[in-house]
Structure 1
Amino acid sequence: MPTGQPKSPSIRTPAREDVPDHDDIAASDAAASGSKDQQTPSGAFKRNKKNTYGGPRFLLVPGYEAGTDYVMPSPRSQAFGPGDDNFLASGTRDESNDEHLKDGESLEWQAETPSRRVGYEDMTAIDWIFEYSKERQRLQVLRHNARGIFGYIREVLDSSQVWVVLLLTGVAAGCLAAVIDVASDWLGDIKLGYCASGEDGGHFYLNKYFCCLGFDGLSQCRDWISWKTTLGVTTGNASWLTAYFIFTISSILCAVTASFLVQEYALYAKHSGIPEIKTVLGGFVIRRFMGLWTLVVKSLGLCFAVASGMWLGKEGPLVHVACCCANTFMKLYGNINDNEARKREILSAAAAAGISAAFGSPIGGVLFSLEQLSYYFPDKTMWQSFVCAMAAAVALQAFDPLRSGKIVLYQVTYSSGWHGFELIPFALLGIFGGIYGGLFIRLNMKIAEIKKVATWLPSPIAQVSIVALLTALVNFPNAYMRLQSSELLYYLFAECSKVAHDPFDLCKIGSATGGTVFLLIIAALLGFLLASITFGLQIPAGIILPSMAIGALFGRAVGILMGIWVNTHPGYILFSTCEPDIACVTPGTYAVIGAAAALGGVTRMTVSIVVIMFELTGALSYVLPIMIAVMLSKWVGDAFGKRGIYESWIHFNDYPLLDNSEETYVPDIPVREIMTRIEYLVVLTATGHTIDSLSNILATYPYRGFPVISNAKNAILLGYVSRTELAFNLQTSRQKPRFLPPDTEVFFSHQPQADPQTTLDLRPWMDQTPLTISSQSSLQLTVTYFQKLGLRYVLFCDKGQLQGLLTKKDAWLVLNGAEECLNTVQDHRLKATARSPRDGQAIEERSLLSYDTHSPLIPLSPESSAF
């Protein structure tokens, strides 16, 4: 080692104590595999095991002697090391701004500008402030160079890139929705028979709807041949059993095919994808979740999943499909693809296009993205969402998959209005929707928790096949459950005066009415149970359409009962407003209101549901009853729990999303009671480091960032350097063209005497202006900063001196009831016994939010039990 360089420190066994984590955001790949940790009892929580060391952990140059002895533990095998192939996080380096630099030239000119070149790691949070600063800087350079006609053209082309991506996304989403509709309908009908129209039965590719198009009733259609007819079994119980057997086998084959595609080719194609999309829009990075391969598998698997007849829907997955399309088209333009904040604005618009293509409801899609998904939704994003949703609706309308002018099968219109006395059953449907939503979420999450810890369950594909078998056995005997969900909604929403053929006795009045009501209620109960089991399997599956179907089944039953009551007692004063020769009650409207109430109860959405239902029915007069039902369903559902189904799955998967619209109780306490104090932080000093010593630090400490201070005595905060930036620079400095030796001096502050050719200045790669607030601030203010600004961490200072740090993850743990009792946290930190990370797992490298199953439980006090 050259003269003047300090000597290596001695290594001894570190003292051990419980140290709070100060890592930046990361999370386990919970979408791909669940944790087997024990469940934390109610009213208590557990803390991750921590690395602990005696005294303040200021990382200085080797050999530096501070007031307390410096100790360093042995490097852990899973931490990054300078000799590892995976030393660097996967990312890209933008060298467009430093091509003119000479070897060793100072980079001080970059110190006040965004200078990061390394991409985000998987399962980490983005830096919203940096991304928008980078975009503002790019636009300033573009405007500065926009001189003359060519500069104006460049500006126009640059601004048009977003609109090209939005239009392509909308058109692709609409076309894919149409293709999925046609393919899933054909696969679903194949379970019952095939089309034999055309020469030599050449139109076998037509589903039952198109094969019998033009006939007054499907029963009169002779071109559709059932399998029992083909096999020559047309009479007796054998005919029914043959159809039952073929229906069951076909359902299982479709479900297993969809699950196999997901399990073997794209695991992120499972479920609806909306919880993950909401997390991504909140600033989280989940790589490969919106890739092209995920798009292909999701679209193809969705066709088979819907055709299987399981109680699932395609509306939620279509949002994922639209976002995958947007992510693919954004790769055409580096200005968009390289900026994570702009990408999320476009993904918000793509989500609106997904709902627009699913329901034929462009305005409802925009409101769905605003109300349910988007973390940040400025005015320009609303305009972009509107254009993208409109493009999707226009493309779907032009494709016209039903050849009827309707975008979706269950679009209906009503010629009659409602009466005042019907507000009572409408309100009851709203209460039913809230009860259904609350019970569904509890049952579904309980099943998910059992599956997470159970070791006796079969493989995911076997689970899907078992549920598909159970669903087919239950669906076939019930005529309503045997239908595809979209076809079922068509019959339930229909107005009796406009139905030429009533194959399911929904419009008959008499002795058959009691049996119809019974079958509708039984179908709703069985659908509730089957949907609770199905949502969460390794298969593309949404919950929007099943919830609407369950609510519509119950609502139609209530509407039929109301019609019977009015017909049997026409003289009641309640019914005095009914006209004598016109049906007083329209049962189809009860199905619509029931569907809206059930959807509101399970998702906790309000405005977007009302608008979607209005666009489906076109009946402005029914907006008020729908609003009343949705309002009551949300109130009743909130009595069971504030989280909707998507928020529940976000919490179940431990995604660290701080939703800025979520009504979360934040304790009114000083933030210093929960922040990680400086004596427990791993802090870098401004000078006294070498490339080798910093590489050892990265190999020893798996944290994703380090505060930088002036020195160990006064601890003046200079900035914050992320792990990826530090690792990238350390490795590239030892490669072409610089080839710096391992003992090269590294510093984070201005050193006028340093030779830029033989030293490494990391100031441009350090965040020199991190957000800092006083440690006397309240936790409520700090959480507001995290929610509104999208921060990853907040540093606390007193007159410039670093006092502590709080990460977004820490705030997430507190607000979700997983952090220690706030009024005893300091005593616990002083008295806790020593613990080290779990064997074979560096802190939060595999799982940021996996709780320590061996740490002592601290019961929550009554004052803090609310969170």
Structure 2
Amino acid sequence: MEWQSWSEYLEVKHIFAESFLQISIYVSLAIALAGSSAILVKIYAPYAFHTGIPEIKAILRGYVLDAFLTPWTLLIKAIGLALSVSSGLSLGKEGPLIHVACCLTFLLTSFFKQFERSEGQKRKLLAASAAAGVSVAFGSPLGGVIFILEELDSFANDSDVMWRGFVASAIAAVTNNSDTWRAFELVPWLALGVIGGVLGSLLIKLNVQVALYRRNTFLNDWPVLEVVGASAITAAISYLVVFTRVQSSELVANLFQECKPLKVDYHGLCNPTANAENIFLLVITALLKIAFTAWTFGIMVPAGIFLPTITIGACLGRAVGILTQTTQTAYAGTWIFQSCPPEPTVRCVSPGFYAVIGASAMLAGVTRMTVSLVVIMFELTGALSHVLPIMISVMTAKWVGDALGKDGIYTVWIAMRGYPWLAPVDYHDQGESAAGIMKPVDELVLIEDGQCTVGELDDMIKTHQYQGFPIVEQRRLVGYITRDTLKCHIGRHLSSESRLGRCSFSNRNHNGDAIDFSDGLEKSILHLRKETPQELIVRIFQRTNFREILFTDRGYLVGLVTKKDIVALLTMHFPHTGSLS
């Protein structure tokens, strides 16, 4: 049986009734699919929304967020992702697949006891599973490996070395002659890089404003209603434009293809008499996708931003490619096009090639990825000749994007969500010391060694939500105990008989009547002088897994700085830090 449209199946003949039926079914299916995804996420697994990459980045840098990796989150993420992608919303599946891979790994580690007490080993496995997620999502195994080095684990300032090597390699390659591209093509390539950087920064700023508006209006209380409304508007508008009506993956695949005599012409893209119309439609599609993506990335459904961003860039790249090809054909005899073959039947400019370059530039402008992005795009296209122009466009897009805003989309969302993730930036102070960022001892909640009872400690951890507490003896530092360890020790002795028993954290204050808590003290706590330069403190946190550093003066506690304090220091340039926490 052959495929039938709804109008054919229902035998609707009138043109107006046929169009109304088609768009009604198109919008209704979009609403049903997106609404189902939102309901599943809202009711069963709130951590299954969004892309998941910001949270994975934070976890791999030491943040404990086990609820984000539960089997229930995995199930809802997988089902919700299929529904949301099918709805036609401006989102992708690639980022969420990284979250899915990490959830699977976390589930498997629960069956092995050696991973229960080793967060470091868990993070290593999660990094490997993130690479597997990229490999599955893009078919790019090498890109997955480089992605975890550049984007997820970063290795502090080593990413600067990778970026500098990337730039040097690109410049060296440009100086060599190549038969796969012409010198005049550097102009449109650089233009696409500038466009990618500008529009990438614009998309980030729009997305931030939408996220803030969502949090501060009624939409925060009605996430499912927002998803339904967004899917209805997206479907209704998308149906009117031929390039937005289809799935983004299908559109991108066709934009990447070159025009060949024996190949089906996709919606007239290869028709030389319709170049102006195609350029107009491609630009309109890109602008609509920017608006849809800015709103969609953050609603209560699993959603990635890779595919929508690639779609935007591919549309603009194809438009620039068609424009360049048209110009070259019209002025083939001018000096600038002398490098093209003299035969008019031989193609000189490849618009599909430009779509790949535009997609790379736009993705670089939004995510600020560099090396891993080039490898992923190279493995997607499978053409070695694509590497150099992709490198040029990515390099330009990153420079332009960094000039308009320091942070990529994932870093911005980490800052807005308030995750204690330290960006691998090279921080330099202006002569400030640790005293300028530490919490002074008078503002800390302290445990006085040998003076607190079990009941008083239990009341303290219920009143204060700090993740750890310094222990002192008349302001002299004894040690530090984490919240979880203290709760565990209290739970062992919390009874009506022992609630009044005093607790000892050191041998000096231990006597026969005291309850010994000394084995709960942190073994690897670091304490420095408050005159230590801020720059050194930042580097210590960036390169170690310390969550706090204590400051002492001749053995007396004078202050404390936590990882969150350093995060706040490094994100103070961003005005919306913690706005979604």
Q: Please indicate, yes or no, whether the TM-score normalized by the shorter chain is above 0.5.
A: yes
CA gap of 1:251–1:499, structure 2 versus 1, over 3 A, is: farther
CA offsets 1:245-277 (integer angstroms, 9 cap, x no match): 211111111111111111121111111111111
* 2:210 is aligned with 1:447: yes
Contact 1:521 1:557 in 2 (8 A): yes
CA offsets 1:7-59 (integer angstroms, 9 cap, x no match): xxxxxxxxxxxxxxxxxxxxxxxxxxxxxxxxxxxxxxxxxxxxxxxxxxxxx
Following superposition, the deviation at residue 717 of structure 1 comes to: 1.9
Contact 1:600 1:630 in 2 (8 A): yes
Q: Which amino acid aligns with 1:750?
A: N
Contact 2:41 2:301 in 1 (8 A): yes
**Alpha-carbon separation, structure 1, partners of 2:378 and 2:458:** 61
* 2:474 is aligned with 1:718: no
* 2:282 is aligned with 1:520: yes
CA offsets 1:128-178 (integer angstroms, 9 cap, x no match): xxxxxxxxxxxxxxxxxxxxxxxxxxxxxxxxxxxxxxxxxxxxxxxxxxx
The equivalent of 1:152 in structure 2 is none
Structure 1 residue aligned with 2:415, among 651, 655, 660?
651
**Alpha-carbon separation, structure 1, partners of 2:509 and 2:481:** 21
**Alpha-carbon separation, structure 1, partners of 2:371 and 2:90:** 25
The equivalent of 2:569 in structure 1 is 814
CA gap of 1:457–1:780, structure 2 versus 1, over 3 A, is: closer
- Tell me the SS of whatever aligns to 1:553: helix
The equivalent of 1:790 in structure 2 is 545
**Alpha-carbon separation, structure 2, partners of 1:605 and 1:504:** 32
* 2:6 is aligned with 1:224: no
- Tell me the SS of whatever aligns to 2:66: coil
The equivalent of 2:271 in structure 1 is 508
Q: Which amino acid aligns with 1:227?
A: W
Following superposition, the deviation at residue 702 of structure 1 comes to: 4.2
- Tell me the SS of whatever aligns to 2:471: strand
The equivalent of 2:233 in structure 1 is 470
Greater C-alpha radius of gyration: 1
Contact 2:504 2:510 in 1 (8 A): no
CA gap of 1:769–1:489, structure 2 versus 1, over 3 A, is: closer
Structure 2 residue aligned with 1:729, among 489, 493, 498?
489
**Alpha-carbon separation, structure 2, partners of 1:763 and 1:453:** 47
**Alpha-carbon separation, structure 2, partners of 1:378 and 1:787:** 9
Q: Which amino acid aligns with 2:411?
A: E
CA gap of 1:513–1:692, structure 2 versus 1, over 3 A, is: closer
Structure 2 residue aligned with 1:573, among 328, 335, 339?
335
The equivalent of 1:677 in structure 2 is 440
Aligned residue pair count: 559
- Tell me the SS of whatever aligns to 1:578: coil
**Alpha-carbon separation, structure 2, partners of 1:779 and 1:716:** 24
CA gap of 1:239–1:742, structure 2 versus 1, over 3 A, is: closer
* 2:193 is aligned with 1:430: yes
CA offsets 1:751-789 (integer angstroms, 9 cap, x no match): 59833xx53211111125520111110111111111111
Which structure 1 segments of 5+ residues have no match?
Answer: 1-195, 197-222, 380-415, 820-847, 852-867
- Please list, as runs of the form range in 1=range in 2, the aligned pairs for 1:268-347 lying within 5 A after superposition: 268-347=47-126
**Alpha-carbon separation, structure 2, partners of 1:457 and 1:700:** 28
The equivalent of 1:592 in structure 2 is 356
Following superposition, the deviation at residue 445 of structure 1 comes to: 0.4
Contact 2:415 2:578 in 1 (8 A): no
The equivalent of 1:493 in structure 2 is 256
**Alpha-carbon separation, structure 2, partners of 1:679 and 1:520:** 62
Structure 2 residue aligned with 1:776, among 520, 524, 531?
531
**Alpha-carbon separation, structure 2, partners of 1:750 and 1:799:** 20
Contact 1:314 1:542 in 2 (8 A): yes
Q: Which amino acid aligns with 1:312?
A: L
RMSD, aligned α-carbons: 2.6
CA offsets 1:516-538 (integer angstroms, 9 cap, x no match): 11111111111111111111111
The equivalent of 1:632 in structure 2 is 396
CA gap of 1:752–1:672, structure 2 versus 1, over 3 A, is: closer
CA gap of 1:849–1:749, structure 2 versus 1, over 3 A, is: farther
Contact 2:445 2:469 in 1 (8 A): yes
The equivalent of 2:36 in structure 1 is 257
Q: Which amino acid aligns with 1:643?
A: D
CA gap of 1:583–1:798, structure 2 versus 1, over 3 A, is: same
**Alpha-carbon separation, structure 2, partners of 1:354 and 1:545:** 15
Q: Which amino acid aligns with 2:38?
A: S
The equivalent of 1:169 in structure 2 is none
The equivalent of 1:355 in structure 2 is 134
CA gap of 1:497–1:653, structure 2 versus 1, over 3 A, is: same
Contact 2:156 2:425 in 1 (8 A): no
Q: What TM-score do the two structures reach when normalised by structure 1?
A: 0.62
**Alpha-carbon separation, structure 2, partners of 1:378 and 1:362:** 24
After TM superposition, the structure 1 stretch with the greater mean CA deviation from structure 2, 721-730 or 346-355, is 721-730
After TM superposition, the structure 1 stretch with the greater mean CA deviation from structure 2, 303-312 or 593-602, is 303-312
Contact 1:665 1:815 in 2 (8 A): no
* 2:248 is aligned with 1:248: no
Contact 1:718 1:768 in 2 (8 A): no
Following superposition, the deviation at residue 234 of structure 1 comes to: 4.5
Contact 2:157 2:426 in 1 (8 A): no
After TM superposition, the structure 1 stretch with the greater mean CA deviation from structure 2, 426-435 or 450-459, is 450-459
* 2:511 is aligned with 1:754: yes
The equivalent of 2:521 in structure 1 is 766
Hey, which of these two has a bigger chunk of helix by percent?
A: 2
The equivalent of 2:498 in structure 1 is 741
Contact 2:548 2:561 in 1 (8 A): yes
CA offsets 1:323-375 (integer angstroms, 9 cap, x no match): 11111111121112331111111111111111111110011111111111125
CA offsets 1:558-581 (integer angstroms, 9 cap, x no match): 111111111111111121121224
CA gap of 1:619–1:769, structure 2 versus 1, over 3 A, is: closer
CA offsets 1:663-690 (integer angstroms, 9 cap, x no match): 5565530111332222333333333343
CA gap of 1:740–1:726, structure 2 versus 1, over 3 A, is: farther
* 2:126 is aligned with 1:369: no
**Alpha-carbon separation, structure 2, partners of 1:745 and 1:559:** 77
**Alpha-carbon separation, structure 1, partners of 2:379 and 2:260:** 21
CA offsets 1:264-309 (integer angstroms, 9 cap, x no match): 2111111111111111112112232111111111111111111111
Following superposition, the deviation at residue 803 of structure 1 comes to: 2.1
Following superposition, the deviation at residue 706 of structure 1 comes to: 2.0
CA offsets 1:587-622 (integer angstroms, 9 cap, x no match): 000000000000000000000111011111121122
**Alpha-carbon separation, structure 1, partners of 2:74 and 2:579:** 30
The equivalent of 1:4 in structure 2 is none
Q: Which amino acid aligns with 1:424?
A: V
Structure 1 residue aligned with 2:379, among 615, 629, 634?
615
Contact 1:554 1:591 in 2 (8 A): yes
- Tell me the SS of whatever aligns to 1:225: coil
Following superposition, the deviation at residue 465 of structure 1 comes to: 1.1
Larger relative contact order (Cα-Cα within 8 Å, sequence gap ≥ 6): 1
Q: Which amino acid aligns with 1:519?
A: L
Structure 2 residue aligned with 1:554, among 312, 316, 335?
316
**Alpha-carbon separation, structure 1, partners of 2:145 and 2:434:** 37
Following superposition, the deviation at residue 694 of structure 1 comes to: 3.4
Contact 1:725 1:765 in 2 (8 A): yes
CA gap of 1:601–1:239, structure 2 versus 1, over 3 A, is: same
